[in-house]
Amino acid sequence: MNTDTKPLILAPAGNKDSFLAAIAAEADAIYCGLKQFSARMQAKNFSVEDLAPLTRLAHDKGKKVYITFNSLIKPNEIDTAAEMLDALQRQVRPDALIIQDLSLIALARNVGFSGEIHLSTLANVSFPKALTIARRLGVSRAVVPRELSIDEIRAMSEACPEGLELEVFVHGALCYGISGRCYWSSFLGGKSGLRGACVQPCRRFYTQNRQKQRFFSCQDLSADVLTKPLLSIPKIAAWKIEGRKKGPHYVFYTVQAYRMLRDEGSDPQAKKAAVGLLKRALGRIGTHYRLLPQRPQTPVNTEIQTGSGLFMGSVKGAGYNSSIIPAEELLVNDVLRVGYEDDPWHSVIRVSKYVPKKGTLHLKFSARKIPPKGTPVFLTDRREKTIETMLSELESEVREKY
């Protein structure tokens, strides 16, 4: 149990670089998924062979590793799931499995998995009585929904039976369909969110009363300065950062920010610095959502953009003479998104040379993807030299030792 210590900072990792970034930023634990049975199948994810050396590195540095085995399992997949759980136990030995499907509790124990079992937010442990049931099933941690207020989380903590602890989200994407328990993507195109294949229809344009807007696209959850009250809730074992589809820059900065808020949150300067890091983490505009029950915030605002990334400027010129004047400096290998993913001219550009703030970056597009003048451009990933050096050193350590 984690009653006398600070909550762990739990970082997402959808690929090797993000995993290493979590270690470099001094996350306490890392959660990641396999190439099957994960609720984020659009992330690159890992094979068992990929995870084995990375997990050994994490363990040697005192970090925990949790595996998200959190999609629903079909009857014809039970044998495959059992084989993968057996391989995880023998080759990786993660500290915990995060599951949605309750059948996996017995399946994991039957193949000899010895780590903890955590219930994903997809398992819908959203009311106090459910905690007792979860503990009887052998669960040691429940991930509570992002929709709960601080008062509701406190009530969950007070109801925790012996041997059970809580994990709460402090940052990352919000789901319009209640923490991922949504059939929208499945209904529209057979891509089930409960199976990790959501195509995010809530992010698209819809028309109502001749108004074309992103009526369902949520801002990101950002607990930031409201993390202090969370520290007073005894059964919270981990602060979870959402983002297994994000790059290493996002992981590094969000982990650093929440470590600062946890450890130095009483210092106004540290708090200001942490909020500054979150603004530069290249996520969406943040909201406290329902954390404060007396001041809830609506997470959908059609007056602002809800695409991820830092706005850098708008396309100037036309056709092959297109350019932008960036609001911030651009570094070599920065990744820019032109427009939104549902725009016909949407494209991703990797910056090939340094461009100073207010300089000019000339943009090249294919003939079929020339954006109109005024199209917004966002910085979605960055490879700063200091972070790249740390990742390179850790990658070398993996190759040499494991």
Per residue in 247-287, pLDDT (tens digit) is 999 999 999 999 999 999 889 999 999 999 998 899 899 99
Mean pLDDT of the 349-364 span: 94
Average pLDDT over residues 7-18: 96
Task: Judge whether residue 320 has pLDDT over 80.
Answer: no
Q: How many residues does the chain have?
A: 402
* Whether pLDDT at 390 is above 60: yes
Mean pLDDT, rounded, for 228-237: 94
Residue 380, H or E segment? strand 376-381
Using the structure block, give the residue that is written with the tokens 């400027």. Answer: 313
Tell me how many degrees the CA angle 308-10-1 measures, rounded to the nearest 5.
Answer: 150
Structure tokens at 54: 């990375």
Confidence of residue 1 (pLDDT cuts 50, 70, 90): very low
pLDDT, position 41: 61
- Ramachandran quadrant class, 349 (left: phi over 0; alpha: psi -120 to 50; beta: rest): beta
Q: What pLDDT is stored for residue 190 in this prediction? A: 87
Mean of pLDDT over the chain: 92
Q: Which helix (H) or strand (E) covers residue 220, if one does?
A: strand 220-222
Distance between CA atoms of 77 and 68, rounded to whole angstroms? Answer: 16
